[in-house]
Structure 1
Amino acid sequence: MNWHTPAFLLSYFLTLLFSFSALAGKMNNIMQLSFNDFNKNILETWLYPQNYDFYLPIIIRHNRWMYDDHHIKRYNENPWGLGGDISRLDDKGNWHSLYMIIFKDSFNKWEISSGYNWEMTWHPFKNKDIYVGAGYTVGITLRDNWRYIPIPLVLPLASIGYKLTRFQMTYIPGVYNNGNVYFACLNFQF
């Protein structure tokens, strides 16, 4: 074995170690800033809401490719319920809200969800009254089949809106015969 090989391996290992340490430090700073922004956005939405929204759940749709017919036939796909939020637009035009919603779940039992929504909003047309959004929701949900124990949720959000009305949707991922549900509601702002 050449005496250069151990020295090379040692220097390579030390370079990797210091690089990963520096990267971990930067990632920690980025995550800390993101968490601070997240908390700041929730607090600003709570303290300085610009709007109040009414939610009307309209669709629960189980992914037909991920369920057998036996399950589909017994599930509810009419999410009767209502909800509301306080919301605001930030200086970038992004939408923030704190919400609570109650609706009939797949088993036709009451489900309650509450949390924080964030959507980046775009105006793809000359008519600025039409907009689309994409973002996430973070919160908790309580369901009968989980004995109403609070379960955390982090889900994607997408919407299309016109003036004070927004069609908002999410997808709950899962496995075969569980999860894989499309949920949508109409939001009316006043």
Structure 2
Amino acid sequence: MQMHRSEATTTGPAGRRLRTAAWVCACAFGLLVTPLQASAGAVVSCTPGDDVLSDACRRVDRVAQHGSWDLYLTGYAWHIDGYSAEQRHALNAKSWGGGAGKHWTDANGNEDILFAFVFLDSHVRPEPIAGYARVWFTSPVMGGLSVGGGWFAGFTARKDVLSYIPLPIALPIASVRYRNASVMGTFIPHVPGSGHGDIAFFWTRYEF
């Protein structure tokens, strides 16, 4: 009987959930250590030139090699419109999670950012996300308060969308920063065939 219970645990729904969670955690760990591996001596050869791809390559390499570390903690997901009261009650808004990244601040106070973190999605399943962001900030006031806006591009993966096959993503980003601490957010528009409405997603960042 013990063997039958063990087999059921590893082959049934619980076993599939465990294997999925382990796979997601392994992928997330790989995403999180990428900046560390890059800064430890990986050599990136960017093509000389002023084209968009060459410039992007140089920016990413500069952040990875010379950027300062960041800590990320998520977060909150606001299901805005297109959702009924019952759907909002059933969906998870507490998108707890965290991760790490690096940033480089230029002479104008704007930032290039590499990031990777994992959070709980609307169905309480782990969702990893990693990518590059460019954020422009206003001049600091009141001892270090500034607001910023920009965009980010990268990859995410969800259980309910192609069963964790990585998906490209590009979204706007906004930030309110006081010295080294920031509250950041993005707007995720409704995609036909996936979900019911728009979502605003928020997280925090601390710059070391």
Give the TM-score, by structure 1 length: 0.77
Unaligned runs of 5+ residues in structure 2 are 1-49
SS of equivalent to 2:56: helix
The answer on 1:161 being equivalent to 2:177 is yes
Partner residue, 1:55: 72
Contact residue 66 and residue 175 of structure 1 kept, 8 A: no
Coordinate RMSD, CA, aligned: 1.7
The answer on 1:69 being equivalent to 2:79 is no
Q: 2:62 aligns with which of 40, 44, 67?
A: 44
Q: 1:179 to 1:118 in 2, by over 3 A?
A: farther
Contact residue 98 and residue 117 of structure 1 kept, 8 A: yes
CA distance in 2, matches of 1:39, 1:164: 26
Q: 1:181 aligns with which of 172, 191, 199?
A: 199
Which structure has the highest strand share of the two?
Answer: 1
Offset of 1:111 from its aligned partner? 0.3
Offset of 1:167 from its aligned partner? 0.5
Q: 1:139 aligns with which of 154, 176, 185?
A: 154
Partner residue, 2:20: none
Offset of 1:109 from its aligned partner? 0.3
CA distance in 2, matches of 1:179, 1:114: 23
Contact residue 76 and residue 96 of structure 2 kept, 8 A: no
CA distance in 2, matches of 1:189, 1:57: 15
Rg (Cα) greater in structure: 1
Contact residue 136 and residue 155 of structure 1 kept, 8 A: yes
Q: Using the aligned pairs only, state the percent identity.
A: 28
SS of equivalent to 1:145: coil
SS of equivalent to 2:164: coil
CA distance in 2, matches of 1:44, 1:175: 34
Amino acid at match of 1:134: G
Partner residue, 1:5: none
SS of equivalent to 2:123: coil
Offset of 1:142 from its aligned partner? 1.0
Unaligned runs of 5+ residues in structure 1 are 1-31
SS of equivalent to 1:157: strand
Deviations 1:67-112 (A, max 9, x none): 1233212100001111110111022321111110100000110000
Q: How many residues align?
A: 156
Partner residue, 2:144: 129
